[in-house]
Amino acid sequence: MSVASSQRQVYLRLLAPLRLRWHRELDLPAQIQRLLAGERAFGSRDRRLYRELIYTTLRYLPWVEPWLDRDPDRAAKIVAWLAAETRDTAAYRAAHCADWPVVNSLADRTAFLEADSSALLPAWFRDECPEAFAPAELEAQLARAPLWLRLQTDDHDAVAAEFASKGWRVQPSALLPSAWRVRDEADVTQSAAYTGGSVEIQDLGSQLVLESVGPKPGGRWLDACAGAGGKSLQLARLLGPDGRVEAHDIRRGALAELKLRAARAGIGNVSTTTRPSTGDYDGVLVDAPCSGSGTWRRAPHLKWATTPKLVASRAALQQELLARFAGGVRPGGLLVYATCSLCQQENAAVVSAFLASHADFAPTPFASTFGFAPGPAGLTILPARHETDGFFVAALLRR
């Protein structure tokens, strides 16, 4: 048996335990990680190859799944053809699909396979975000998510010099000079820039959430659902040394990680708490737990495990959190609501319901919209325009 044939059999074997889970389990990436780690014969290149094949399967599941029982070798060939061309997949792809055409667009892939591109997103999602079914957005949803960094130092040249010495190409965003896209396969966590706190891994869309609001330097803010603190650290940089960020979360482990990240970066104007004070903040950020539909390009399993019932339950929680933390905003201060969801039920509907019962809050203009058109309730950041994940943000002024 050739190497490529053996690899195909391993790929199909790895899929078997995942097939029982990929329509229902939100933690599938952790299971994939354990599955690959448990293969003692694998080297790092093997793990990267099979990870790419598995994630390609999940991206294009409706095109692949019907063939897994009918003709598993054809299913494997389809996945090889659809997988990204990397140094780890190149030989495998050449061995399996060299006789198929090289195409660069979703329209051409759809035509060659005589498939339905709209099936690559859940049918129920069309009512939540019809814009996602436009050709450019579908194309973005099916591409590998880019690696974006946020610089936490003013010495960009030092970071650039280290990355250049490692052969890592970077491209600063035209929107934010401190946002860099890494163009090569790179483990940035092994760089001195990362371990020294000069860079954080943060999607550009996530960075645009706060940048769209434009917090004024020197304010006192609460990050009400801080988690491990990506936006807390960004907010601390935006507020400057005279500003203060109080990062709140009910998960002590997440706050402990935030403290480590802040210390690594030398950011001293962030504190953590599981019990925030009651009021008088210049701004409160409610980056609420959500369905994560804006992250489907990097977490494609969520397309098939997320249900309308889950979206509705997240929306109920979001309304509760927004109402709970709104009281902490001083008159004249900002309440910022954000999700990494593209579901209107979790976004515009939550904000509209909140405004209907809180007459002392009203939408306020964004500092920047980055080419997107705000709706009455807020701003939706779609993935295709700037190669990002999807986000929603609303800026509400307390009168």
Which residues are known catalytic residues? 340
Q: Are strands 361-363 and 147-151 parallel, antiparallel or unpaired?
A: unpaired
Question: What is the CA 92 to chain-centroid distance, rounded?
Answer: 28
Burial of 30 (0-12, 13-18, 19+ CB in 10 A): exposed
Long-range contacts of the stretch 70-73 (C-beta < 8 A, 24+): 72/12, 73/8
**Are 330 and 282 a contacting pair, CB within 8 Å?**
yes
Distance between CA atoms of residues 192 and 209, nearest Å? 27
At residue 70, the 3 state secondary structure works out as helix
DSSP β-bridge partners for residue 395: 336
Question: Where in 14-138 does DSSP place strands (E)?
Answer: none
Q: How far is CA 312 from CA 123, 137, 163, 290, 291, in A?
A: 16, 24, 44, 10, 9
How many Cα atoms within 13 Å fall on the side-chain side of residue 267? 34
DSSP β-bridge partners for residue 200: 150
